[in-house]
A = this chain, B = another copy of it.
Amino acid sequence: MDTEARAAVLKRSAFFHGLNAAIVDKIAAAALERLLKPNETLFQQGDPSTHHYIVAWGRLRLDQTTPDGKNIVLRFMGPGDLVGSVAVFRSIPYPATPTAVEETRVFQWTSDRMNELMSEYPVLAAKAMAMMGGRIGELQERLQQISTQQVERRIAAAILRIVAQSGRKTDVGVEIPFPLSRQDLAEMTGTTLHTVSRTLSAWIDEGVLEGKRSSHLVVLKPHRLMQIAEQA
């Protein structure tokens, strides 16, 4: 990818959106790139945090492994999302592992380089705070859901969250444009793949969803899912 193409991607990201075009060009020129194949990891949980990344295209799944070997999915990251920055700002090792779920291209900057950029363009600090604030809001929402809601509602909410972040409208409904396994959904909602499987089967029977293994999930009746997610 050349600098111009990179700049075009960055201009669309929330982080750099609205910056003067010349500045974005300069930032784009300072970036290095990396291309990940499916199941490749960008870095490992526990590695020293050295770089900021932005997803150009593709999709990453952010996993956290517990000391006793269990796994949770913190979130999926798509084009424009910042990866690794929170750890770099805190000067702590990366707390999770980003894995490509499809071919994915990312841009990267060293911590020092990004610090220079941020002191040169203070608006970037505000953008970073907005990003972190959004992350906090999302985590609080999930904590509330998992604390108070039944499994079915949590699964519905998880699917709707992904749809809101990455959904693509088709003629029959909304498609989740990357592979999403029952295991992934289980690790996003704090349940087991068995329960997810049973729940999705019921929804497929009901005509709310469609999509089998390795074909992308399609939500046929988003309204019905919202109803399930919000039922008192």
Tell whether A23 is near chain B: CB-to-CB under 8 Å.
no
What's the least CB distance linking A91 to chain B, in Å? 9
Tell whether A220 is near chain B: CB-to-CB under 8 Å.
no
Q: How far is the CA of A119 from the CA of B122 in the complex (A)?
A: 9
Q: Is the CB of B146 within 8 A of A89?
A: no
Interface-centre pick from A122, A144, A190 (highest chain B CB count, 10 A): A144
Q: Which of B125, B143, B230 contacts A143 (CB 8 A)?
A: B143
Q: How many copies does the complex hold?
A: 2
Q: How far is the CA of A67 from the CA of B146 in the complex (A)?
A: 14
Q: Is the CB of A142 within 8 A of B144?
A: no
Q: How far is the CA of A24 from the CA of B54 in the complex (A)?
A: 36
What's the least CB distance linking A182 to chain B, in Å? 16
Q: How far is the CA of A96 from the CA of B119 in the complex (A)?
A: 32
Q: Which residues on B sit within 8 Å (CB–CB) of A68?
A: 148, 232
Chain A 198-232 near chain B by CB (<8 Å), digits 1 or 0: 00000000000000000000000000000000101
Residue of B nearest to A73 (CB): B147
Tell whether A30 is near chain B: CB-to-CB under 8 Å.
no
What's the least CB distance linking A67 to chain B, in Å? 8
Q: Is the CB of B143 within 8 A of A139?
A: yes
Residue of B nearest to A87 (CB): B133
Q: Is the CB of A147 within 8 A of B144?
A: no
Tell whether A193 is near chain B: CB-to-CB under 8 Å.
no
List residues of A whose CB falls within 8 A of some B CB: 64, 66-68, 70, 72, 74, 86-87, 89-90, 92, 95-96, 119, 122, 125-126, 128-130, 132-137, 139-140, 142-144, 146-148, 187, 189-190, 230, 232
List 28 interface pairs A-B (beta carbons < 8 Å), by A numbering.
A67-B230, A68-B232, A70-B148, A72-B144, A72-B147, A72-B148, A86-B136, A89-B129, A90-B134, A90-B137, A95-B137, A96-B140, A122-B125, A125-B126, A129-B129, A129-B132, A132-B133, A132-B136, A135-B136, A136-B136, A139-B139, A139-B140, A143-B143, A143-B146, A146-B146, A146-B147, A147-B189, A147-B190
